[in-house]
Amino acid sequence: MRIDMLTAFPGMFTGPFNESIIRLAHERDLVDIFIHDLRAFTIDRHKTIDAYAYGGGSGMVLKPEPIFRGVRFIRDQIPSDGLSRCVLLSARGKPFLQETARDFTELDQLILICGHYKGVDERVIHGLDTEEYSIGDFVVTGGELPAMMIADAVIRLIPGVLGDIESAVTDSFYEGLLDCPYYTRPEQYENLDVPEVLLSGHHERIERWRREESLKTTWQRRPELLKDVNLSKEDDVFLDILQQENDG
């Protein structure tokens, strides 16, 4: 898989992609990451990438020309029959979810356009078949950090990136639930004990405990997620007990 970042601030990417899991994925040729300087696709001597908005108002808007040139150049880097999607990181975009990350792993190329300033010329959306995604209901300075987060979320799901794929498929949101709590050594720390069931060696009991803790955490913190989860009869009974205890 290939991931291309189009950004006005390429220096922001030098550290995060040279560390940890992403660095290892790149070294194993499981993913290719390319950072493209938006200013490289300008044609004026001042390398202008932004301008005032038509109609007035505060803030600058990223110009369409360098983005069009940049995306078209990037798309030409893969075969014409390759599967490519172009994403603009935008506060008004639809939410980026774990399901989205899974879908993106099927691509040959993912292009991430880092929005900045007041916004991006709307013609980028319509003229380049661009999708808009947001990482949450808050605003950050630019799309660089969200692009890093999306890239990380996608890369870790590529087969072979994680040493243990089970680590990925049990993550929060992978099956619609928040993850259960985890414990490690020592068994006791400052009078706080590891739950006895985790020390029992009884795998079925441990798996049921983890499922119930996952259900409980989701019910307490993100109950709206439960409506989209495939629940068993055991799950329904457990959630009913939680609700009764809460009501009582």
At 155-191, the pLDDT tens digits run 999 999 987 554 555 455 557 899 889 999 999 999 9
**Tell me: the pLDDT tens digits for 230-246?**
999 999 999 999 999 99
CATH for 188-247?
A: 1.10.1270.20
Instruction: Report the C-alpha gap between 225 and 235 in whole angstroms.
Output: 14
- Specify burial of residue 118 (Cβ count, 10 A radius: 0-12, 13-18, 19+): middle
At residue 101, the pLDDT reads 97
pTM here is: 0.84
Return the domain boundaries, the chain: 2-155, 188-247
Do domains 2-155 and 188-247 share one topology? The answer is no
Instruction: Report the C-alpha gap between 179 and 215 in whole angstroms.
Output: 8
- What is the number of other CB atoms lying within 10 angstroms of the CB of residue 99? 12
> Could you say which residues of the chain have pLDDT below 50?
166, 170
CATH for 2-155?
A: 3.40.1280.10
Residue 197, CA distances (Å) to 177, 208, 232 in order:
21, 10, 22
At residue 84, the pLDDT reads 98
Contact by Cβ (8 Å): 162, 21: yes
At residue 166, the pLDDT reads 47
**Tell me: the pLDDT tens digits for 135-144?**
999 999 999 9
What is the secondary structure of 40-107 as a DSSP string?
A: GG--STT---EEEPTT--SSEEE-HHHHHHHHHHHHTTS-TTS-EEEEEEEEEEEEP-HHHHHHHTT-
At residue 169, the pLDDT reads 52
